[in-house]
Amino acid sequence: MAGTKTKTEVFTIAEMGEPSAERGDTNKKRCIFEQYVQPCMAELFGTSLFVFVGCASVIGNVGDVGVIQPAVAHGLALGVLIMVLGQISGGHFNPAVSLSVYLCGGMGLSLLLPYILAQMCGGMIGAGLTKVIYPTDVYNASLGGAFNFVNDDLGKTTVAEVMMTLFLTTVVCMGAVNGQTRSPSAPFCIGLTVTANIFAGGTVSGACMNPARAFGPAVAANHWNHHWIYWVGPASGALLTVMFIRLLFGDQKTRVVLK
């Protein structure tokens, strides 16, 4: 999902073509902006829009349509945002995705924590915007799009989050990071994966797969019912993805065994 190679080539050309100290300093600032500031701002902006659309699709889900509206809205929003912002930041918009991409070699350690912080702030902004635009009674009736734990079995709910996040992060890492399987259709596939997961597990755990998506509306609505599940589940799913790719499915550069 990351556009590191293209940006590195641009930086190299710019630095070699500007001999003066003044222009060199300008290019250095531009490189820092494009390498660190711009990607974090893209993650903040993209996560805000994603969480806004996701929460709004839940709040406005009137009638007997089940998970259809949230599933389609989340999938379409994510696919579009990855398409338009992916070349800037990689289009993660999800701490679990950032963790798996980093551990699979798709991004540097220096961006991992800033990405996660930007995503958490974006989640709060997006959820806050939905609280602003919807009437209070409608907002409260749906808990602002926050995940409402309805299954009495914590273990089954956590496993559901693990498996759905495993599916999502595998598609991300194999479709956008792993050199052998990387595909231009990755944004489309990732969006479809989110839609499929919500159809499959929306009635079990809510199909979060994204701690930022859970954290934002939890803050806005002050709803923390078993909130830890939406951190432990996605993080565990991301780590399982890393294990499978690093040991089994990764290309020669990514695998840690049998290179």
Domain 4-249 has CATH 3.40.50.10310: no
Residue 69, helix vs strand vs coil: helix
* The pair of three-digit structure tokens given for residue 135, joined into one six-digit string: 């009437």
Residue 78 and residue 98: Cα distance in Å, rounded?
15
Q: What does the pLDDT look like over 82-136, one tens digit per residue?
A: 999 999 999 999 999 999 999 999 999 999 999 999 999 999 999 999 999 999 9
CB-CB contact of 91 with 1 (8 Å): yes
| pLDDT of res. 152 | 77
Closest CA to 96 of 245, 210, 187, 255: 210
What average pLDDT does this structure show over 34-53?
A: 96
Task: Indicate the domain borders of the chain.
Answer: 4-249
Supply the pLDDT for residue 15.
37
pLDDT, one tens digit per residue, over 186-211 is 999 999 999 999 999 999 999 999 99
Task: State the pTM of this model.
Answer: 0.88
| pLDDT at res. 21 | 61
